[in-house]
């Protein structure tokens, strides 16, 4: 998606350890008009899918998932919580996710009330690196008996391999920008053709 790639080139900052900082429009300050364009693009790419729910993970996925939902008839958005909270009554699906940026393993939870075998789920997240977050969300959907209809990612770091493994498994993965080169020394960012 050209405008997202251009925005990454304009405002993205390459950090050591294969980290791309996009705090200025995605992860801290948020460009809602860009999110609306991203939502339209996902709607186009998943036009043939019957989707009735969006699943994401806190925190950065929530805003883009909510804007995405407006293009899918305002279907409900569920976000996986990273810590068991008092609001959740023990009836949960859970999975383990290892955080690429924070270098630790945590549990993610979704209440059984909000995912059922009748659900057809689009999973949305901001970044895809090695795929731990997405695989955790897929695991939770599968535990519930719901169907994963597709995976929508804003920025995939293609060189970290998580995306290609999911494509090989047969998932429809739609990443709006795929970064294949991220060089912290000279700040180079290159996208997949």
CB of 161 to ligand 5GP, least distance (A): 10
DSSP summary character for residue 82: S
Q: Decide if residue 156 touches ligand 5GP (CB under 6 A).
A: no
CB of 74 to ligand 5GP, least distance (A): 24
Whose tokens are 């659900």? That residue is: 119
Among 35, 46, 79, 100, binds ligand 5GP (CB under 6 A): 100
| The one among 126, 138, 148, 178 contacting ligand 5GP by CB under 6 A | 126
What distance in Å separates the CA atoms of residue 93 and residue 95, rounded to the nearest whole number?
7
Q: Which of 146, 144, 36 is nearest to 92 (CA)?
A: 144
Work out the angle at residue 173's Cα, subtended by the Cα atoms of residues 22 and 153, and round it to the nearest 5 degrees.
20
CB of 168 to ligand 5GP, least distance (A): 15
Phi, psi of 68 (to 5 degrees): -60, -40
Residues at the site binding ligand 5GP, with contacts judged by CB under 6 A: 19-22, 27, 60, 100-101, 125-134, 157, 162
């Amino acid at each position: 998606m050209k405008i997202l790639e251009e925005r990454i080139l304009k405002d993205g900052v390459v950090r050591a350890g294969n980290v791309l900082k996009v705090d200025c429009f995605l992860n801290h300050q948020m460009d809602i008009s860009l999110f609306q364009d991203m939502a339209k693009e996902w709607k186009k790419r998943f036009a043939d899918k019957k989707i009735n729910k969006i699943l994401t993970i806190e925190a950065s996925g929530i805003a883009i998932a909510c804007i995405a939902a407006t293009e899918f008839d305002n279907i409900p958005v569920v976000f996986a919580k990273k810590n068991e909270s008092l609001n959740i009554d023990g009836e949960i699906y859970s999975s383990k996710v290892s955080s690429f940026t924070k270098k630790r393993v945590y549990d993610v939870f979704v209440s059984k009330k909000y995912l059922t075998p009748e659900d057809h789920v689009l999973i949305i997240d901001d970044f895809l690196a090695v795929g731990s977050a997405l695989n955790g969300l897929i695991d939770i959907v599968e535990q519930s008996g719901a169907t994963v209809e597709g995976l929508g990612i804003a920025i995939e770091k293609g060189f970290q391999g998580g995306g290609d493994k999911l494509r090989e498994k047969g998932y429809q993965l739609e990443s709006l920008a795929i970064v294949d080169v991220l060089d912290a020394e000279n700040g180079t960012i290159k996208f997949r053709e």
